[in-house]
Each structure stands twice: as C-alpha cells, then as structure tokens.
Structure 1
Amino acid sequence: MRALVTVLAIVVIIGIIALATGFISLSGKGGQLPKVAVEGGRLPTVGADVGDIDLGTKNTTIEVPDVETKKKTVEVPTLSVEKAR
C-alpha cells in the first residue's frame, strides 16, 4: 500500500513538472451546459404531526462542588524576539 502511494505521488510530481516546463501542452475548447426546459409539475406535499415542547425553569436544590483556587509561584517558559537589523 505504501509503495503504491509513493509511486502515485511520483507520477503526479512528474506530471506537474512536465506541464510546468512545457513538455506537455494541454488545450481544449470551451464547453456549454445543456439547455433544460421544465414545464408543469407540482411540488410534493408533506404532512407531519409533531409533539409540543415546553421550555422553562424551576428551582431545585442540588449538590454543587466548592472549588478553591490558590496562588502559587511556578517556573514557566518565556520567549523573547528581537527584530532583525
């Protein structure tokens, strides 16, 4: 599988180089879309019975964890950049 992908990649690269150097020249004529006429017809009708959704709030007592933060001095990496002269 790996060899197949490698060979395919080499073939694509060779093709790009051949086009870029002018070894291969591609030309073609402009195309044209077909003319399509639609007459008559009717959109389909779809019926759907759906349920009701009520969105609201209520007061409830729940257990919530108490999170505590502390300040601590730690060593962090720094980066300095100087402009080229």
Structure 2
Amino acid sequence: MADPYRDDRVVTRKSGVSVWVWIALAIAVIAGLLFATGFWSADVKEGAMPEVSVDGGKLPAVDVDSKEVVVGTEKKEIDVPVVGVKDNGEE
C-alpha cells in the first residue's frame, strides 16, 4: 500500500542568473570593442561648464566635437586567379 504522506515528485527550479550573466558579459565585450577601436574614448580633461545663453524663442548654440566619418570610393585593379577543370580521362 502506498504511503499517502510520501511525495515522489522532483521539483527543479531554473534560475535566471545565467541569462543575466550572459547579457552582462555581452555588454562588457561590446563596450571593450568600442573602446579598442577608438569609437569611444575615455579622454578625461579638466574643463569648465559651457556658457549657454538663450534668447527668447531661439535654440542655444551648441559646439560638439565628434568623430569625423570619411566615406568615399576608389578604383583598384585586382588580379583574379583563373580557375579551370582538368579532365583526367576517367569516367
């Protein structure tokens, strides 16, 4: 006769910690790549707060130093190897 107080069920719980660890790792790798390629830079210089003056109804003037993106094309001549098939006489 089966014991009514015995529970043979096995309960497993998955924690979401591994997902968060992978997300944090991915963010760290992406940030590292951005710093390594120079897209982001951590040049910290001493400075003062910018002076901003606004006339009524006008947007303030903003001076932004950003990366320069140069896009263009150039012609190049590339030697491409000739690929052929040899027939060795077998069928």
State the TM-score bracket (shorter-chain normalisation).
0.3 to 0.5
Flag the structure with more relative contact order, 1 or 2, with Cα contacts below 8 A and sequence separation at least 6: 2
TM-score if structure 2 supplies the norm length? Answer: 0.31
**TM-score normalised by L of structure 1:** 0.33
